[in-house]
Amino acid sequence: MSEKLVVVKKEGNTAIVTLNRENKRNALSVELRKQLTETLAKLAKDNEIKVVILTGKGPVFSAGFDTSEFMSLTPENMQAFFEASWQYHIDVMTFPKPLIAALNGPALAGGLDLALMCDFRIASQTAFFQHPEIKFGATPLYTLLRPVVGEGLARDLSFTGRRIDANEALRIGLVNKVVPPDKVLEEAKVYAAQICESKLETLMAVKKMCIEATNMKEFSKISKAALGG
């Protein structure tokens, strides 16, 4: 039986989804990504759930993709690995209900990408954000940053790989609110409660417009190439 890397707790019309790999700083392994997309697929069909909060266990939201898995790639399985990585991004981006990132700590590389694929971001004062992978030859997903912070800042963060703290993230619009570490989930629930005041059908109609406003075909083409597809 696979280890439970994603934990779900339902509170009324809200589902709290926790990345449960604290000992690896919630690194997004192939198995974790698989469990996350399967979890979201189930919640998409759950008519009791109107909004999902995504957070991480421990002091880190996510350190990004599990780099140890890259070391074991062979020419034979490399293409399948990158295809699955690309599909994971599409699955999260097209989740049909509002998705709130409760950023309990740093969000780096693929962890930052995951935060950007959410509709709202509530950050701990201890959180920081960075695309360090450019220093190691991996391509940051500029296509996820650009709609959130604008073209100039997206290029800045993608090319430099510099770290920004929670206050700068708030100033540039990367996050919606910054709160003390012990208030992150509580504040995310406040956002969720406001969202839950509306009908599920209306919320899903708005989310559909948000998804359609993103040129998914173009995003898929560019991101697939960046991910090695």
Max CA separation in the chain (angstroms): 50
* Catalytic residue (one of 3, 22, 133, 151): 133
Residue type, 143: T
Nearest residue to 200 (alpha-carbon basis) of 6, 17, 45, 82: 45
Q: Are strands 120-124 and 51-56 parallel, antiparallel or unpaired?
A: unpaired
Cβ-contact 141, 113 below 8 angstroms: yes
Q: Which two tokens stand for residue 134?
A: 């450019």
Q: Tell me whether residue 133 is one of the annotated catalytic residues.
A: yes
Residue 78 CA to residue 56 CA, distance in Å, equals: 28
Task: Please name the residues in contact with 114: beta carbons below 8 A apart, sequence gap of 6 or more.
Answer: 28, 54, 61, 62, 92, 101, 107
Quote the strand ranges of the chain, DSSP E: 6-11, 14-19, 51-56, 99-103, 107-108, 120-124, 128-130, 164-165, 177-179
Please answer whether residues 20 and 27 qualify as being in contact, where contact means their C-beta atoms are separated by less than 8 angstroms: no
**Active site residue ranges:** 133
